[in-house]
Chains A and B, each alone.
Chain A
Amino acid sequence: MTERMIGAPVPRTEDARLVTGRGHYLDDLGAGAYEVAFVRSPHAHARITSIDVEAALDTEGLVAVYLYEDLTGKVAEPLPLLIPHPALTHGRTAYPLAKDVVRHVGEAIVMVVATDRYRAEDACERITVEYEFLPPVVGIDKAAGGEHLVHADVPGNVAAHMVQEVGDAPAAIAAAPNRLELQLDIERSACMPMEGRGVLARWDEADASMRVYTSTQTSTGVRAAVAAKLELPLDRVEVITPDVGGGFGVKIVHPWPEEVLVPWAARLLGHEVKWTEDRREHFVSSAHERGQLQTVRVGFDDEGRVLGLDVEILHDNGAYTPYGIIVPIITSTQLLGPYKPGAYRVDFRSLYTNTVIVTPYRGAGRPQGVFAMERTMDAIADHLGRDRADVRAANFIQPHEMPYDHGLLFQDGRPLIYDSGDFPASLDKLKKLVGWDDFEVFRAQARAEGRRVGIGIGCYVEGTGVGPYEGGHVQVETSGKVNVATGLTSQGQGHQTAFAQVVADELGVPFEDVSVTTGDTRRFGYAVGTFASRAAVMSGNAIALAARKVREKALRIAGEALGADPGDLEIVDGVVRVKDDHSSAIPLGTVAVLSNPLRYAFDDASKAATQFGGNADPSRPPVAEDDEPGLEGRDFYSPPRATFANGMHAAIVETDPETAEIRVLRYCVIHDCGHLLNPLIVEGQVHGGVAQGVAGALYERMEYDENGQLLNASFMDFLMPYASEVPSVEIDHLETPSPLNPLGIKGAGEAGVIPGAAVLASAIEDAEGFPITRMPIQPSELFHLRRRHAAGEIPPLRRVRTAPEEFPTA
């Protein structure tokens, strides 16, 4: 009997090539291709007055230099606005090469093609661009002030203004027995995959076709964009995603300017052309996320139940809005977490600044939303003198209330309806795991040793597996080997393993016989992409459905061959057999032979399918009218709406009384993503997410100066954590299946990162005894907050005032 693969911690198929250096990432391809470097703007906001390339022209190895004026056809038009929205009244996108005005440091102005990257950079250095400076708009305050404009035709720098309301929140707050207002601030970070972006294009003149390799999260998206921009028929463009060295969101944006320019130049030059992003380019010309200012007004009863919640968000979207307003929409809807506020109003303005664009980074607006909500929960608990976990529990949506309709519209344009989840059970598990109820004993012990510790908690709900669809194709070869394809791409999530597990179980074949291809438009042309924790849910289910079709066909054909009712057959280890009589059996490979009537035999197996080889009924056509040759199947999964995963994290921190150094002593995670396809992979996703959550809370920020210069645009200065900074992560799972899809699964990719800033703010606040309202927080900032607190500028928490002996004196 085949062991069940779904749910097993199967080691990954991918690793065999990746641990031996046999993977192929973008820059590993295209030996001999011309290479591209860009002259990028050193100024945040300026008008280009002249570009002089003369001095570059005799650079050894130079092939071509392109300015905006050289671009032709649709390549000269602004890049597409990928996700239009009625509230995005002033959407603006960049040109592939700057036209007249640059709006952030790093915007591409000149494209240089040379025989290698060294020489391309030599030429870039010899090109002189002159500028007339325009006033830079940096920071949300400056943007909201509207004194200077990022785009001359966008008044007040407001790209979008959106309000969603359920009930009358201001009235509910006014009538509530208790009221609070919080001002919160969360700064920018970025995806920062270890491999930057990169594109390789090969034009085949004889075939009039374009092949593009790109380090993307959506090969079908890039294909459609390249076809449109280069005005090629879709069937003349193929896009292949090689191994991708991490994405975390930044590679879902498409087409990046380089994804248009590189194929365009490859066609023009009749030669392979490649661009590989370097680290500085990634800092200043890809994308960032997170930056928001939030004002929260809340009214609540004496149990801490929220009666009305009114949130205003100022969101920094950077210089352009190619990805629309997905991030602030997610913040404003997912802010609600596992709670049901009596009335809710959320108002966001998405603002232009002269900085790098803002597009989804793992979590995609949720970390900010959860920060707002969880800071509010802590503030309510403190105000009432109640346990922070109890206040959360008082606001939970209960299991019997599922599915729960919030009455809002989610990022997919569908109603925000939670499908399942058991929040009280999650909280119980978390409290046990971290030892919530015993923490005061630990605090007292630590205090006796002169140590300062605190505990924090954060809860979230995450809409995963958003539509519109993904597809899967499953094909059994005559050898019995199974080829599986899905269109979305992989950046380290182990899809080749997880999807093979699904097919092994659904079809009844050995796991080792299944090979999976992702992100290759030659193999599967219909797909959306890998984002929003959707790959397992979308492609996993599509592939399961496709495998079921293949199984059905295999049973039918085998039934005819064995003279048995398909209902009496089963497929085990790649062999179709009669359930009660295992001697009556036929291998799937032979079924594949029978499924494809042949005229020509090319090997022993195929002889049986030729016209004189079998004993087919001569009165019927070899392929029935409603049938197709081949043992293969294709199907799609398109959900009515997202499925909502959830989780709760707790952390214990220690803050040094002298140096204000912050150490995470424990980090505990309860995670519910429904059934687990592969626990090894799911836990790996949680680990990586938590590390990014801790990073965003304690280390990483984009340090822009007032002129729009990114001061820390290198790994030397941007503090991405090493193993020495990331705490051990303790995980426990709850498995509340989704009723929405055949496999009962929910997405897991982003979960770990979401409550990081909220949990650590909660824990640091608990250690310090005064409110923490701004993240990330580094020791120097905590040190200054302590001074302000000591000077009376920051009032203590209420619980410090009521039990001062339990907290440190500042």
Chain B
Amino acid sequence: MTDTAPPPTTTGAQEEELHPIRLRVNGVLRTAEVPARRLLSDCLRHDLGLTGTHVGCEHGVCGACTVQVDGRPMRSCLMFAVSAQDHEITTVEGLERPDGTLHAVQRAFRECHGLQCGFCTPGFLNVIAAFLEENPKPSEEEARDAVAGNLCRCTGYQNIVKAVLRAAELRLEEQVDEDAPVEVDEVAR
């Protein structure tokens, strides 16, 4: 056996340089010191404790680790943490509103049984949340295309596609609801 005690202290040799970084994650300014090679996915999960972002392949194919970088879906396993400096990151933890109201896509996934084991789900939610900003009223084909870059092993995608369409409905309903009181006020004035 070749134990090298005491373990965690640095040996002096080959010490990795750490880089201070500043990211805005889910609206909150976060800082970390990371080696240049640290993946954004690992930084989010292990340095910032946001373990809702999952890692399924670490080579950018499965999409489980998808977060939004400045509102655009991005595979966090294909991005170094240092290159996220000064960017705005949204993870699954940041999809719901501060008052705890779930995002339309989160509600739609539950309603449509769009998840089973839930491991790939955060990636899908981020992809769909960003997609609906660009295409608020997708057709079924567009909905299917939108999620066709993410892998799921449980659902056969049937209810994920349904959930995209349902999320679009819920999102539009929300906007109507939010607009409604304003209109009432205007009428009152």
Contacts and interface: CB of A to CB of B under 8 A. Distances in A.
Interface string B65-97: 000000000000000000000000001110110
B181 interface: no
A722 B150 contact: yes
A615 interface: no
B157 A723 contact: yes
A715 B151 contact: yes
B149 to A, nearest CB: 7
Given A194-B153, A279-B56, A715-B62, A64 B4 contact: yes
A715 B152 CA distance: 12
Contacts of B175: none
Contacts of A723: 144, 147-148, 150, 157, 160-161
B1 interface: yes
B185 interface: no
A681 B46 CA distance: 33
B189 interface: no
Given A18-B121, A19-B121, A63-B7, A195 B156 contact: no
Contact of A70 (B1, B11, B113, B161): B1
A193 interface: yes
A716 B61 contact: yes
B57 interface: yes
A279 B57 contact: yes
Nearest to B118: A18
Contact of A11 (B3, B110, B160): B110
B173 interface: no
Interface residues of A, number: 70
Contacts of A31: 46, 49
B117 A491 contact: yes
A684 B116 contact: yes
Contacts of B58: 278-279
Contacts of B154: 194, 246, 492, 684, 688
Contacts of A66: 1-2
A115 interface: yes
Interface stretch (A80-88, A308-316, A647-655, A724-732): A724-732
Interface string A243-258: 1111010000000000
A22 B59 CA distance: 24
B156 A21 contact: no
A493 B130 CA distance: 28
A58 interface: yes
Contacts of B54: 25, 194-195, 245
A724 B119 contact: no
Contacts, number: 206
A271 B50 CA distance: 23
A57 B110 contact: no
A278 B58 CA distance: 8
A684 B159 contact: yes
Interface string A29-48: 00100100000000000000
A688 B153 CA distance: 7
A130 interface: no
A656 to B, nearest CB: 20
A115 B110 contact: no
B59 A715 contact: yes
Contacts of A724: 144-145, 148
B16 interface: yes
Interface in B1-59: 1-4, 7-8, 10-11, 13-16, 35, 37-38, 45-46, 49-59
Nearest to A54: B2
B64 interface: yes
Given A246-B154, A687-B155, A21 B59 contact: no
B7 A34 contact: yes
A59 B12 CA distance: 10
Contacts of B10: 60-61
B158 interface: yes
B2 A53 contact: yes
Contact of B158 (A60, A687, A722): A687
B125 interface: yes
A64 B11 contact: no
Nearest to A17: B118
A53 B115 CA distance: 44
Per DSSP, are chain B's interface residues mostly helix, strand or loop, or mixed? loop
A346 B85 CA distance: 64
Contact of A269 (B7, B53, B92, B117): B7
B4 A62 contact: yes
A25 B56 CA distance: 12
B111 interface: yes
Given A688-B155, A724-B144, A11 B111 contact: yes
A194 B110 CA distance: 19
A60 B11 contact: yes
Contacts of B61: 714-716
Contacts of A15: 109-110, 115, 118
Contacts of A720: 151, 153
Given A31-B49, A493-B116, A20 B102 contact: yes
Given A19-B106, A70-B1, A245 B149 contact: no
Nearest to B145: A724
Nearest to A53: B2
B44 to A, nearest CB: 10
A228 interface: no
A272 to B, nearest CB: 12
A12 B116 CA distance: 9
Between B91, B148, B156, the greatest number of chain A beta carbons within 10 A of the residue's beta carbon is seen for B156
Contact of A20 (B38, B57, B93, B156): B93
Contacts of B158: 684, 687, 726, 728-729
Contacts of B16: 60
Contacts of A691: 155-157
A492 to B, nearest CB: 3
Interface string A633-656: 000000000000000000000000
B165 interface: no
A290 to B, nearest CB: 16
A245 B113 contact: no
Between B4, B37, B59, the greatest number of chain A beta carbons within 10 A of the residue's beta carbon is seen for B4
Contact of B55 (A27, A57, A681): A27
Contact of B50 (A21, A192, A193, A714): A21
Given A31-B49, A687-B156, A715 B116 contact: no
Nearest to A116: B46
A690 B156 contact: yes
A23 interface: yes
Interface in A661-691: 680-681, 683-684, 687-691
B8 A63 contact: yes
A28 B4 contact: no
A194 B161 CA distance: 19
Nearest to A123: B4
Contacts of B53: 21
B118 A14 contact: yes
B173 to A, nearest CB: 18
B8 A16 contact: no
B120 interface: yes
A61 B7 CA distance: 7
Given A53-B2, A61-B8, A118-B37, A11 B113 contact: yes
Between B119, B145, B152, the greatest number of chain A beta carbons within 10 A of the residue's beta carbon is seen for B119
Q: Can you list the 10 inter-chain pairs with the closest CB atoms, starting with the nearest?
A: A21-B52, A245-B119, A492-B117, A691-B156, A18-B118, A492-B116, A28-B51, A715-B61, A21-B92, A687-B156
Given A20-B93, A20-B95, A21-B50, 9 more contacts: A19-B106, A60-B16, A63-B7, A64-B7, A118-B35, A279-B58, A492-B154, A722-B157, A752-B156
Interface of A: 11-12, 14-16, 18-25, 27-28, 31, 34, 53, 57-66, 70, 115-116, 118, 192-195, 243-246, 248, 269, 271, 278-279, 491-494, 680-681, 683-684, 687-692, 714-716, 720, 722-724, 726, 728-729, 752
7 contacts: A19-B115, A20-B52, A25-B119, A61-B8, A245-B56, A692-B156, A715-B56
